[in-house]
Structure 1
Amino acid sequence: MKNNFPSRKDNIVLTAIEIINDLGIQGLSTKELAKRQAITESLLYRYFRSKDEIIVAVLENFSRFDQSIHKTIGNASTTAKEKILEYFRLYTEYYENYPAIIAVMLSFNEFAHDPKTHPIVVDIFNNRNAFLSETIHFGQKKGEIGYYFSSEELTEILSGFFKNVAFIWRLKEYSFSLKDHTLTAVQKILDNQIMNK
């Protein structure tokens, strides 16, 4: 029978995300991690060689569903608008079920300044934007989405809106539905994209 419980290594990564959520990236230290895991720092180093390696694992955890989400939505026989709404539905549901992960997204600027994590952040950012932009472009070619904004511009609008709403959601201590708020606004933005070339 397969063990579905997280391994010690996975637990360390999840605890690192909690620390980033509670104390910010500056508060993440091997000392704090070991304390919260109730282990010694030397035992922590048996699982990860450095704090940088832990941060890389945090970013990999943050983006672990990206490929499956993009593949599932990409293969669906639905309109481009429906695919975009499904994209935001899946991400908002994930974040609502795991609010601490939002802190990772909101720390991207700091991760981008570190040479060890910069390429990972760029990869996550580029993959998510490319998926949205390609879906929008496909919808424009099919006549489902207007051309008032280019696919790249509309991607920036939707992504920027989502990051801002996620930040407000966190500031307001998760007091409203991230999913409902996001999907309502994304639907309005897509519906008001003027249908012309």
Structure 2
Amino acid sequence: MLSERQQQIIETSIGLIDRLGIQGFTIKNLSKEIGISEPAIYRHFESKVEILSTILEGFRNKIIEYHREGSDRKLSAREKIETFFEMIFLVFSRNPMLISVIFAEEIFRNEPALTRKVMEIQQINEKMLGEWIGKLDLTDAMKDTRLDMITMIFFGSVRLLARKWKMNDRRFDLKKEGNQLIKTIIKIIAV
């Protein structure tokens, strides 16, 4: 469990990355933004990498919690897919700055620990989505398509919509458009 100060550091870090990009995410900028010294930051986190790892871990835990709760609910595969993505769009709607962190490959490229965390989140999501897709009655055109290709259609589309929403200063309802997007993809792939 994060302390109040650690939570403040995490939230401020996400905001800095969102506004200034990864280049602007420095301990110096972070300490100025919060109004504490750089050594005070290091009392709570060893490094920027640990801060980023904690951000990813929080997102990962939300996903795992959702999957755990979702597996207990008696929903059809279609409903599980729709409610999963509703949750993703809700999280992004409430935390738009998170999009800048989750979809920022340059942050993770040179940090193997962060790359592993991002890959783990991706694998968890792909596994669950693949299981649900496998239970759908796919259209003839999609029956021979590999599940990983279909999951890529979903996640690539979600990523594009989230980035578009953010770059357009959140001028449209992400949850509404996202839900429509997921229903459209399901309509294309399933009978």
Question: Do they superpose with TM above 0.5?
Answer: yes
The residue that corresponds to 2:188 in the other structure is 192
**AA at the equivalent of 1:167:** R
Superposed, 1:24-35 pairs within 5 Å as 24-35=21-32
Q: CA deviation at 1:82?
A: 0.6
The letter for the 2-side match of 1:132 is: L
| 2:36 aligned with 1:39 | yes
- Tell me: higher relative CO, structure 1 or 2? Use CA pairs within 8 A at least 6 residues apart: 2
1:165 to 157, 161, 165: 161
Residue 64 of structure 1: how far off its partner (Å)? 2.7
**Which residue, out of 92, 116, 121, partners 1:119?**
116
What is residue 90 of structure 1 aligned with on the other side?
A: 87
> AA paired with 2:185?
I
**Which secondary structure does the structure 2 equivalent of 1:175 belong to?**
coil
Counting matched residue pairs gives: 187
For the aligned residues, what is the CA RMSD?
Answer: 1.8
Matched, 1:151 2:151: no
Instruction: Write out per-residue CA displacement over residues 68-121 of structure 1, whole angstroms, 9 at most, x where no aligned residue.
Output: 111122221111011000001111111111111111122135314322311111
Matched, 1:68 2:61: no
**Corresponding residue to 1:177 among 142, 161, 173:** 173
Which 4+ residue blocks in structure 1 deviate beyond 3 angstroms? none
Q: Matched residues in 2 for 1:108 and 1:129: separation?
A: 18
Gap change, CA 1:107 and 1:41, over 3 Å in 2: same
Distance in 1, matches of 2:112 and 2:189, equals 38
Q: 2 CA distance for matches of 1:151 and 1:115?
A: 27
Structure 2 residue ranges without an equivalent (≥5): none
CA contact (8 A) 1:18 1:100 kept: yes
User: Structure 2: how far apart are the matches of 1:6 and 1:116?
Assistant: 23
Determine whether 1:106 maps to 2:103.
Answer: yes
- Report the CA distance between 1:52 and its aligned residue: 1.6
C-alpha separation in 1, matches of 2:48 and 2:167: 27
Q: Structure 1-normalised TM-score?
A: 0.88
What SS is found at the alignment partner of 1:183?
Answer: helix
Q: Percent identity, please.
A: 27
Q: Which residue of 2 aligns with 1:59?
A: 56
